[in-house]
Chain A
Amino acid sequence: MRYIGKEMSRVDGVAKVTGRAKYAVEYKVNNPAYGYIVQSTVAKGRISKIDTSKAEKLPGVLKILTHQNALKVEEEGRQFRALQSDNVLFCGQPVALVVADTFEQARYAANLVEIEYAKEEPSTDFSATPRVQTRGPAPRGKPAEEFANSPVKIEAEYSIPIEHHNPMEPHGATAFWEGEKLTVFDKSQGVYGVRGHLARSFNIPEGNINVRSLFVGGAFGSSLNVNYYPFLAALAAREVKRPVKLSLTRRQMFTGHGYRPYTAQKVSIGADESGKLRSIIHEASTNTSSYEEFAEGTTRFGRTLYECPNYDSPYYLLKTDLPTPTWMRAPGAVSGAFAIESAIDELAYELKIDPVELRLINYAEKDPETGKPFSSKALRECFTAGAKKFGWEKRKFAPRSMRDGDLFVGWGTAVGTWGAFQAPATAKIRVRNDGSLLVGSGTTDIGPGTYTVCTIIAAEALGIEPKKIEFVLGDTELPKAPSQGGSITTASVGSAVYGAAGEVRRKLLGLVDKKEGSPLFGAAFEDTELVDGMLRLKSDTSKSMRIVDALKEGGVEYVEVEYQSRPSAERQNYTTMAHGAQFVEVKVDESLGIIKATRVVEATACGRIINPLTSHSQEMGGVVWGIGMALHEATEIDHRYGKMMTTNLADYHVPVSADVFSVETDFVEEKDEIVNELGIKGMGELCLVGIPAAIANAVYHATGKRVRDLPITPDKLL
């Protein structure tokens, strides 16, 4: 491999740091107007009166949309749609949209829209909400009975508050109409989803709509489902007959795009004295809205984690008068792992068995759920490599037994898992006789480095230097690819690019293999490769031809292919997952309750690494995310009003640089020929899954205090 597996800087890095990369509301459009959303100040009830007359009289105000004059759309599932009725479903619901010549005019006018509500009592208090069980897998074995019969038992409850993604770029869109044709620049993880949504909303053909999302300043799941605002931007643009830019403020983002739900969990583990697991009952409840069910499979990943014959994983929803939650980096998995991996640590201390040892005692060699083999699983190797790098063998087992001066030192570990998913994806490649090369797919790059890894894969398969390749994405004019979510992009789109390159080679060969005297006359496709700008025989590399010459020879200006890759049928016979062992050191000042995550080692087995540089950066991002989840992040709600209150970056704490110390990553490469031809699994979510539990476990080791409700703020240690 020439390019795959070698470090390469982001191909879009310079554009990003010089400002050349344009984000959704940065596009220069002619004479734009600006929208500002007015939000409900009550959580439940009806709008009894809405008076826009004062606001309308202000200079610059072009239009005010409310439920009284906005276009009504067909019900689309139970998804929230803005300005459809006088019904108030959550606090912060958009109830009017002001469109004006400038953003400040719109914002000012928004203050003058007068609204009265017929208020009802909201219900957002999770502990007071009845839970409704969702459908899930049947219990494995006899979990309750076996738990009762186990000689060693752990039972504990855990909770995680609502958390928000808080990407750097606020959500927003620029929309304009040219006759019947609509163009929308959106901050999106999937341009096709947005296009379909808009087509159904306006009842126009998808072909009339172009959605673009070329650069995304982080999304983490918050732009995976289509949000309500692109429709509002497009509607406003149609009303005022001008391009409209609509952007949420940081505060509005908290109710504008969903969040990680509140999660309450209970884990019951029964084990033998030897540490062998006999039964796990992992139950979880997460909140949803009153109008839509959002479930994230919090208890699902646990089922494949350990060899344990008896397992139950009931999952409940709590209906609240809050907006619907959504996918947030490692949805379900990280919340579930916090409970399961904390409980396993609690069991280790009950049994006085080293936490790594206990996990290896219960190592699942095959999928305990289905009995299928794993396509690959180098978790044991991750433990070996991670423990070595971390220095785990120097750990003293007892809590409060390691010190650094006045500080208590704690070492904790946890496992992370995430599925190695793949979805159908299409890529196209055009090779021109001037040597230029365009590769494209309608995926998005929300930050992991998709531009870069797809360029690397194309370079490898086409035998052309990466810098000669232009990879384009984020445009519904490009062939269809799945939304960027679930850590599937490199496996899906990368495979499509790889496959398309193979088809390019086939076409090129077709131009020259029938010509007598051509060095590739009669060559078999399987015996050819593209290397250094040449098409050549593998068996005799002296038989070669420059790609541009092949095009000339064939008398064509370019060859172009579109190729769809699909997950292989063979995958069905296996369980395909990625794994990681995560080690954390914390130092705790017990007199002040201050915790520092001073060292993190992540050992990860996620198939082939295409670009170690962007992979490392993904892993670091995951660790920082995990630190935030463990120690800082919480969206607090005042249940009396049903309102999220910590809705800005001063009150919603994400880690700052001073909270992050050493983060080391170690990739244990797996050769996995089953997941896909290139052996790619995902990693962008995996890297975070075990971190909150590992930190909580380290805090226990340091202090002897088991904190089961996140975040572990100083007050919880005092």
Chain B
Amino acid sequence: MRPFKYQTASTVKDAVSAASNSEGSKFIAGGTNLVDLMKEDVERPAALIDVSRIDLRQVRSEGDSVVIGAMAKNTDTANHPLVRMNFPLLSQAIFAGASAQIRNMATNGGNLMQRTRCVYFYDTSMPCNKREKGSGCAAKEGLNRMHAIFGWSDGCVAVHPSDMCVALAALDAVVSVEGPGGKTRAIPFSEFHRLPGNDPSRDNTLENGDLITSISIPKNKFAGNSYYLKVRDRASYAFALVSVAAALEIAGGKVKDVRIALGGVAHKPWRAKKGRGVSERKSCDK
């Protein structure tokens, strides 16, 4: 891989200012995605700012939400009592992804930011608009069995590969971000990732130097009736062909609220809003 500078950041401020001071830099957390991409010469950061030591590893209750730190490991998040009690859907989704070893390294921030697994994106000798603007999309007429069904554009038919994000989309999470100059933002999950449109190079709405600090999930009444289902080519350690995060709030034998999000079908976790209208308020017979 190409040589790069490496520095660690111990606070959010450090990280953000290091990023704005260093051209072509990237944050690195668990490294499970970024290092692979660097080895393949897809990502070529001039500098890495290691954010994994920033103290944003907690999962805590805050008012009506549960807030999970951006640097908390996927495994620790999935196992955390607050997550398991309030959002078993999220635990299931995280455990459906990758392998135990990778989940032990992977962070929540990194999970949101992981890049597509499109084979052409990974191959620098192939046309790919996401990797190299204007070079074309090899997948559109090529190997695209696992690519987008919804929301794709002529420029890119890739999907977002995360399982965790599908649950977060269903649960209406909010992503907290701190950017250059200490500017903070709270981005509703449905607005975090974007569709490819005519700029597939951008997976999400973060700007250069924006650091995800935490993800907060409003408490809800779905815990008793939720499920993450993932269909894949083998029983474990494979990306979703299709996945569904489904949650129902049931009261007095009636469905009060429904959430459905689909994974592996679009450039972002796909909220099925129509399904909602149809099933809501129907009586249910468990």
Chain A positions near chain B (C-beta within 8 angstroms): 41, 104, 107-108, 111, 592-594, 596, 631-632, 636, 638, 640-641, 643, 645-646, 648, 650-651, 653, 655-659, 713-715
* B46 beta carbon closer than 8 Å to chain A: no
Judge whether B241 and A656 touch: CB under 8 Å: no
Give the docked Cα–Cα distance between A658 and B95 (Å): 14
Bound-state CA distance A108–B141 (Å) is 32
Contact of B234 (CB < 8 Å), options: A41, A641, A655: A655
Is B241 a contact partner of A638 (Cβ separation < 8 A)? no
Out of B119, B141, B145, B233, name the residue touching A632 (CB < 8 Å): B233
Question: What are 25 of the A-B contact pairs (CB < 8 Å)?
Answer: A41-B125, A104-B1, A108-B1, A108-B3, A111-B41, A592-B229, A593-B231, A594-B231, A636-B143, A638-B142, A641-B138, A643-B125, A643-B126, A645-B119, A645-B143, A646-B143, A653-B233, A653-B234, A655-B234, A656-B236, A657-B236, A658-B236, A659-B234, A714-B241, A715-B241
Residue of A nearest to B126 (CB): A641
Which residues of A are found within 8 Å of B229, using beta-carbon distances? 592
Contact with A along B252-272 (1 / 0, CB 8 A): 000000000000000000000
| Residue in B closest to A713 when the chains form the complex, CB atoms | B233
Q: Is the CB of B235 within 8 A of A656?
A: yes
B134-152 residues with Cβ-Cβ distance < 8 A to A are 138, 141-143, 145
- Besides A656-B234, A656-B236, A659-B236, 8 more A-B contacts (Cβ < 8 Å) are A108-B1, A111-B2, A593-B231, A631-B234, A645-B120, A658-B235, A658-B236, A659-B235
A651–B237 CA distance with the chains assembled, in angstroms: 10
Give the 10 A-B residue pairs with the shortest CB-CB distance, closest first: A41-B125, A658-B235, A658-B236, A645-B119, A659-B235, A656-B236, A653-B234, A638-B142, A592-B231, A656-B237
Point out residues on B near A: beta carbons under 8 Å.
Answer: 1-3, 39, 41, 117, 119-120, 122-123, 125-126, 138, 141-143, 145, 229, 231, 233-239, 241
Please report the C-alpha to C-alpha distance between residue A107 and residue B39 in the assembled complex, in whole angstroms.
9
Closest residue on chain B to residue A638 by CB atoms: B142
| Contact residues in A for B3 (Cβ distance below 8 Å) | 108
| Chief secondary structure at chain B's binding surface | loop
How many whole Å from B174's CB to the nearest CB in chain A? 31
Query: What residues of B have a CB within 8 angstroms of the CB of A631 in the complex?
Result: 234
Distance to closest chain A CB from B243 (angstroms): 11
Residues of chain A lying within 8 A (CB to CB) of residue B142: 638, 640, 645
Q: Provide the bound-state CA to CA distance between A564 and B117, in Å.
A: 54
Identify the closest chain B residue to A40 (Cβ).
B125
Question: In the bound complex, do residue B1 and residue A645 qualify as a contact, i.e. CB atoms below 8 Å apart?
Answer: no
Complex Cα–Cα for A631 and B234 (A): 8
A residues in contact with B231, CB < 8 Å: 592-594, 714
Q: Which one of A593, A596, A656, A715 lies within 8 Å of B145 (CB-CB)?
A: A715
A646–B126 CA distance with the chains assembled, in angstroms:
13
Query: B141 contacts which chain A residues (CB < 8 A)?
Result: 640
Given contacts A638-B138, A659-B234, A715-B145, contact A651 B119 (CB under 8 A): yes
Query: Which residues of A lie under 8 Å from residue B233 when comparing CB positions?
Result: 632, 653, 713-714
Cβ A632 vs Cβ B138 within 8 A: no
User: Residue on B with the closest CB to A59?
Assistant: B3
- Are B238 and A646 in touch, CB under 8 angstroms? no
Q: Determine the chain B residues whose CB is within 8 A of the CB of A657 once the complex forms.
A: 236
* Given contacts A108-B1, A593-B231, A714-B233, A653 and B238 within 8 Å (CB-CB): yes
Bound-state CA distance A449–B120 (Å) is: 40
Complex CA–CA separation, A581 to B1 (angstroms): 50
Contacting residues, chain B, for A592 (C-beta < 8 A): 229, 231
- Chain B residues in 8 Å Cβ range of A596: 235
User: Chain B residues with Cβ under 8 A from A638's Cβ?
Assistant: 138, 142-143
- From residue B228, how far is it (CB to closest CB) to chain A in Å? 14
CB-nearest residue of chain A to B117 = A650
Cβ-defined contact, B234 with A646, below 8 A: no
- The answer to whether A108 touches B126, judged by C-beta atoms less than 8 angstroms apart, is no
Q: Which residue on chain B has the smallest CB distance to residue A650? A: B117
Which residues of chain A are near B125, meaning CB under 8 Å?
41, 643
Bound-state CA distance A650–B120 (Å) is 14
Q: Which residues of A are found within 8 Å of B123, using beta-carbon distances? A: 643, 645
Chain A residue contacts of B235, Cβ below 8 A: 596, 656, 658-659
Chain B residues, CB < 8 A from A648: 122
A640: which B residues are within 8 A, CB to CB? 138, 141-142
B2 cross-chain contacts in A, Cβ below 8 A: 108, 111
| Bound Cα distance A107, B237 (Å) | 28
A643: chain B residues within 8 A (beta carbon): 123, 125-126
**Residue of A whose beta carbon sits closest to that of B122:** A648
Q: Tell me, in angstroms, the Cα distance from A715 to B241 when the chains sit together.
A: 9
A640 to B127, CA, bound (A): 12
Whose C-beta in chain B lies nearest to the C-beta of A105?
B3
How many angstroms from the CA of A653 to the CA of B123 in the assembled complex? Answer: 18
Measured CB to CB, the closest approach of chain B to A115, in angstroms, equals: 11
